[in-house]
Every structure is written in structure tokens, then in C-alpha cells.
Chains A and B, each alone.
Chain A
Amino acid sequence: NFMLTQPHSVSESPGKTVTISCTRSSGSIASNYVQWYQQRPGSAPTTVIYEDNQRPSGVPDRFSGSIDSSSNSASLTISGLKTEDEADYYCQSYDSSNPRVFGGGTKLTVL
């Protein structure tokens, strides 16, 4: 089984840009798509990025996803930060044996 490692927390000011990383422990990050979820307090997760870098309809283009094979990691970048972006963010990927593997989550504080 592989693991996805995220920073426990990040913080940034409104209007700035923040990047959250997600590092895969084994197997290539590029071999299987990565999804990103936003979870506000008391709410269910919602998809903000699917298939590495695709945004569902309704998700603002301030959210973007990418992968970096050299570091075997994926990243979620949020630009023009708003207070409403304050939430927990989870990355997720898979392999042939594990349909869904989640990262531990990153708490984003917008202060």
C-alpha cells in the first residue's frame, strides 16, 4: 500500500496564493489520477480538482492542480485567497489494489 503525505496545516493572508503538497510514498504520482477535496467545518467534502488538474463546474479558476514527477507529488494551488477558502483539503489517488487512498488532510487558515 502507498501513502499520501500532506502538511498538517498551512496559513496565508487574504489575496495571497497558497500551495498544498501531496507526496506519494511509492509508485509514480503520474500513473494514477489525483483528486482534491475541500471540507468546510461541519460539511461533507466537495471535489475541487479531479484527474490531476480538472475543475468541476462551479469551482472558481482560483483553484488549480498539478503533478510533479520529479518530487512524486501533486499540488493544489489557490490564488487570490478568500476567507471562505478556509477549510480542510484532502488529496486522493489510487492504484490497482486500492481504489481510494486519501492524504491525511491539510488545514488551511486564511488570516
Chain B
Amino acid sequence: EVQLVESGGGLVQPGGSLRLSCAASGFTFSDHYMDWVRQAPGKGLEWVGRTRNKANSYTTEYAASVKGRFTISRDDSKNSLYLQMNSLKTEDTAVYYCASAPPFDYWGQGTLVTVSS
């Protein structure tokens, strides 16, 4: 059974940092591109960024709204995906999901990040 389990969310002050993790199981993690997608309270889905696999040099891409502040990384030996979030803003408040890229499109249950003073 494919499982993606996010962790690391919580309350952080504006300007602060947070690191999210996503533990994968049930599939060959190293083969797949992986995404972070977020959803602000009561709003729609917003793509945050992507990391490609080793065959594609682990290249990353980011949404304009987070570029320069967020960094995606992965550790294939641990079947884990990470999202380092710096210089957080109140508008970054959202549930953050990790997801395998289409067509192998599985999602975790999400972790809530609240940016507030």
C-alpha cells in the first residue's frame, strides 16, 4: 500500500523557519518525481515545488510565490522528502501535502503550518 506521511507542521512567527518531512512507503520512491502542494484555509490547491529523480539530476522547480525562500530536498536512502521553509509569511499558512507526480499521483494526509504572531 502506498503511503505518504507528512510531519513537522506547527505554529511559527512571521520571518521564522520550519522544515517539513514526508515519509514514503509502498513504492520505489527513488524512481519518482515528488511535489509539495499547499492549501490555505478555505482555499484551493497551490503547487509549491518539485524535485525530480536521480536520473534527472534531482533538479528542482518552485512556484514564484516561494522561490528563494523554500527549498525541496530528498533522501532516497530514507525514502524521504523535505521542505525547508524560511522567511515565512502569514500568507504561507496552509496545509502542506507531499504528492508523487502524475501519473503515479498519490497524496499524503497533509500537515498544517500556521504563520502568526
Contacts and interface: CB of A to CB of B under 8 A. Distances in A.
Interface string B32-69: 00010100000011110010000000000100000000
B14 interface: no
Interface string A61-104: 00000000000000000000000000000101000001111111
B103 interface: yes
B45 to A, nearest CB: 4
Given A44-B109, A44-B110, A105-B44, A99 B101 contact: yes
Contact of A104 (B37, B44, B50, B97): B44
B105 A105 contact: no
B107 A44 contact: yes
A45 B97 contact: yes
B61 to A, nearest CB: 6
Contacts of A46: 107
Nearest to B64: A1
Main secondary structure of the interface of A (DSSP, over half): loop
A35 interface: yes
B26 interface: no
Nearest to A98: B47
A90 B109 CA distance: 17
B39 to A, nearest CB: 8
Nearest to A1: B64
Interface of A: 33, 35, 37, 43-47, 50-51, 54, 56, 90, 92, 98-105
Which 3 residue pairs of A and B lie closest in terms of their CB atoms, listed nearest first?
A: A100-B47, A102-B45, A47-B105
26 contacts: A33-B102, A35-B103, A43-B109, A44-B97, A44-B109, A44-B110, A45-B97, A50-B103, A50-B105, A51-B103, A90-B44, A90-B45, A92-B45, A92-B102, A99-B47, A99-B50, A100-B37, A100-B47, A100-B50, A100-B101, A102-B44, A102-B45, A102-B47, A103-B44, A104-B44, A105-B45
